[in-house]
């Protein structure tokens, strides 16, 4: 994966963790066309070649904003055709994030408004700074969430709460987001990245094939009846039985040592 991006910074931690930082702090890390293309590239590349990565984290530069949403200065004066063309990029971007084969964690360091809230909601789970704020403000601009917001928020907080938040455009705090089920954990701003890296490290230390299969079983199973979901789970489980990692996990337990998983 290349590293010479304009609007994001991509780095590796402890070999198996990918850190993606939204890097337009002068405009509150607002999502422009270039950022959409670069995020799309990163997450579509992961679907092709994981490069031995096991967990991805997305966060924002600075302590004020995770992502303030779409760059309205760039959008000012756009033709309808240009607007639709840009949005196709954002659609493909969020689909790639939601389809990320490895766990995707959001470390929300500040304001996550509009498309920024949608990026966070597209992750597998969220850790947030106590100073973070969330909002889906699209209706105040005469549009609506179009990068998964109506789907991912409703699945996280429930239909009635999602309707209240999306139809009003009202902001809400990190603690409210935690109480409602959007955020998993709220920490002090100075501890956010370290705390997120710690849980990412714990996930990365587990069997990578097992993690990927379990993620798919949870996500896809929730779109099915419980019986179809159970069948999907069993199929995912059976694919792990013949792996080297399964044998290594049991052997390491019996030898009272830490397993060395190789993802095969």
**70, 73, 76, 80 alpha-carbon torsion, rounded to 10°:** -30
Cβ contacts of 58 within 8 Å, gap of 6 or more: 20, 21, 22, 97, 104, 105, 106, 107, 119, 120, 123
- Coil, helix or strand at residue 152: helix
**Residues assigned a catalytic role:** 118, 138
Distance CA 243, CA 248 (A): 9
- Coil, helix or strand at residue 28: coil
C-alpha distance from residue 105 to each of 25, 143, 222 (Å): 20, 27, 19
Pairing assessment for the beta strands 133-135 and 17-22 based on DSSP bridges: unpaired
Distance CA 200, CA 93 (A): 22
CA angle at 195 for the pair 194 and 201, rounded to the nearest 5° = 85
């Amino acid at each position: 994966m290349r590293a010479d991006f304009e609007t994001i910074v991509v780095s590796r931690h402890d070999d198996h963790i990918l850190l993606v930082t939204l890097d337009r702090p002068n405009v509150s890390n607002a999502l422009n066309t270039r950022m959409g293309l670069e995020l799309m590239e990163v997450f579509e590349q992961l679907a092709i070649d994981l490069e031995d990565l096991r967990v991805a984290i997305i966060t924002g530069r600075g302590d004020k904003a995770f992502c303030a949403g779409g760059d309205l200065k760039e959008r000012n004066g756009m033709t309808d055709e240009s607007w639709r063309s840009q949005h196709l990029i954002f659609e493909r971007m969020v689909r790639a994030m939601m389809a990320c084969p490895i766990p995707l964690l959001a470390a929300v360091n500040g304001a996550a408004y509009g498309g920024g809230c949608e990026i966070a909601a597209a992750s597998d789970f969220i850790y947030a700074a106590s100073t973070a704020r969330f909002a889906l403000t699209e209706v105040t601009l005469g549009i609506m969430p179009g990068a998964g917001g109506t789907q991912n928020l409703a699945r996280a907080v429930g239909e009635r709460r999602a309707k209240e938040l999306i139809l009003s455009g009202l902001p809400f705090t990190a603690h409210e987001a935690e109480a409602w089920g959007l955020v998993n954990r709220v920490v002090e701003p100075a501890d956010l990245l370290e705390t997120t890296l710690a849980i990412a490290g714990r996930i990365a230390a587990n069997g990578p094939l097992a993690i990927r299969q379990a993620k798919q079983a949870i996500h896809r199973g929730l779109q099915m009846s419980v019986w179809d979901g159970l069948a999907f789970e069993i199929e995912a489980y059976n694919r792990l039985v013949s792996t080297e990692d399964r044998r290594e996990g049991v052997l390491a337990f019996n030898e009272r040592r830490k397993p060395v998983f190789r993802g095969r």
